[in-house]
Amino acid sequence: MCFTQGMSVTLAVASFASAWYEWRSFRSWQYSAGIAYWGLEEVIQAVQHSYAASADDDYAMCKNRTNQMLTDMGAAHLVFQPVFVSFTLLSMYRKHDIEARILSDFIFKLCVLAGFWFVSYSWICAAMGVDQSLLPPATEDCPNYQYLYEGYDGFLNKTTPNQPGSACVYYAPTETGHLAWAIPIYKQSYYFPSPSVHFFLFFGPYIIMFKKPMLQVYVFLAWLTGPILTKYLTASVNEQPAIWCFNSVAQISMYAIAVRYFGIHKKPILAEFRHPGTYGEQPMTYVLRKDDGDTLPLLDLSKSDESPKRC
């Protein structure tokens, strides 16, 4: 299987067209932004194809500053992906479910915080007075098995061609021949996150939403067709995340079809939402009240299990 620049351009156009169509259909900027974000990734990859290093010139383009900047742009896109995943998956639920709005707002803020946490390493280190050094490149004696990290790939048994300490996008020496990213990674510590934070925010919040089984099924399928599938398509841990991003447009399309099939956008607005609380807490109830034709969500603190009083 060979991935090409033209395929990235096609997926980018398809993504932006889908985002526009969904905006015309639902008028949800969050939903459309979530779809368009993956088109932006394909735009970045399409440009990366023009500057990618290859074995033909002994990966000389890894020294090119534009190549390095484009790789950094791809990495920046990665760390904010969970933000736009939350937009896509919860925006249709927000239309009718106050609980989904509360959850969505919290997840959004958490994902934004995590994104800036990743890109603010030098500031954090300066403020905390801790070591700002990069992890040393992986070696044959101590190989790498995680996404993106520069150095010796323990699965592919090859060393990434980037200049040590600098990012590089290159064509992986594999049968798939997709773009691969080699990125220097800072030392993880109590103050700086591991790439596993991306996995946690990408899948974790939705897999435990037991009241929304469609989301649970979707993120499970996204896990299978994302990181699991790419592991079987290529052995390169530097190529796998780039292929996953390529597949993401299809994953988002799958979700858009599911939204229409299950009629998520047609659900009626809940007239009442009740949270029973845990031990020692009083129940809390949100009630929908109409004032002059407008619907307003009200919070009522019930002191008993009786029906909430309407103000």
Q: What is the pLDDT of residue 238?
A: 93
Counting the structural domains of the chain, the total is 2
Give residue-wise pLDDT tens across range 271-305: 788 888 888 899 988 787 766 545 554 444 444 44
Q: What dihedral do alpha carbons 36, 37, 39, 43 form, nearest 10°?
A: 130
Residue 306 lies in a domain: no
Residues 278 and 225 in one domain: no
Residue 123 lies in a domain: yes
Q: Which residue has the higher pLDDT, 267 or 91?
A: 91
Give residue-wise pLDDT tens across range 138-156: 999 999 888 999 999 999 9
Residues 206 and 296 in one domain: no
Lowest mean pLDDT among 17-26, 49-58, 281-290: 281-290
Residue with tokens 């009629």: 263
Residues 157 and 59 in one domain: yes
Rounded Cα distance, 228 and 240, in Å:
9
Residues 17 and 138 in one domain: yes
Residues 287 and 244 in one domain: no
Residues 128 and 149 in one domain: yes
- Cβ atoms of 187 and 131 within 8 Å: the answer is yes
Residues 257 and 288 in one domain: no
Q: What is the pLDDT of residue 52?
A: 96
Residue 29 lies in a domain: yes
Residues 35 and 174 in one domain: yes
Residues 294 and 152 in one domain: no
Q: What is the pLDDT of residue 70?
A: 96
Please tell me the total number of residues recorded for the chain in this structure.
311
Residue 310 lies in a domain: no
Q: Is the pLDDT of residue 204 over 60?
A: yes
**What band does 307 get if pLDDT is binned at 50, 70 and 90?**
very low
44: closest CA among 10, 80, 8, 85? 8
Give residue-wise pLDDT tens across range 79-108: 999 999 999 999 999 988 888 999 999 999
Residues 55 and 108 in one domain: yes
Rounded Cα distance, 19 and 28, in Å:
10
Residues 127 and 250 in one domain: yes
**Where in the sequence is the domain holding 288, given as residue range(s)?**
272-301
- Cβ atoms of 286 and 308 within 8 Å: the answer is no
pLDDT averaged over every residue in the chain: 87
Q: What is the pLDDT of residue 292?
A: 53
Angle between helices 29-51 and 65-79 (to 10 degrees): 160
HEC secondary structure over the chain = CCCCHHHHHHHHHHHHHHHHHHHHHHCCHHHHHHHHHHHHHHHHHHHHHHHCECHHHCCHHHHCHHHHHHHHHHHHHHHCHHHHHHHHHHHHHHCCCHHHHHHHHHHHHHHHHHHHHHHCHHHHHHHHCCCCCECCCECCCCCECCCCECEEECCCCEECCCCCCCCEEEECCCCCCCEEEEECCECCCCCCCCCHHHHHHHHHHHHCCCCCHHHHHHHHHHHHHHHHHHHHHCCCCCCHHHHHHHHHHHHHHHHHHHHHHCCHHHCCCCCEEEECCCCCCCCEEEEEEEECCEEEEEEEECCCCCCCCCC
Residue 54 lies in a domain: yes
Q: What is the pLDDT of residue 291?
A: 60
Residues above pLDDT 90, as percent of the chain: 60
Residues 229 and 84 in one domain: yes
Can you give the C-alpha Rg of the chain in angstroms?
A: 23
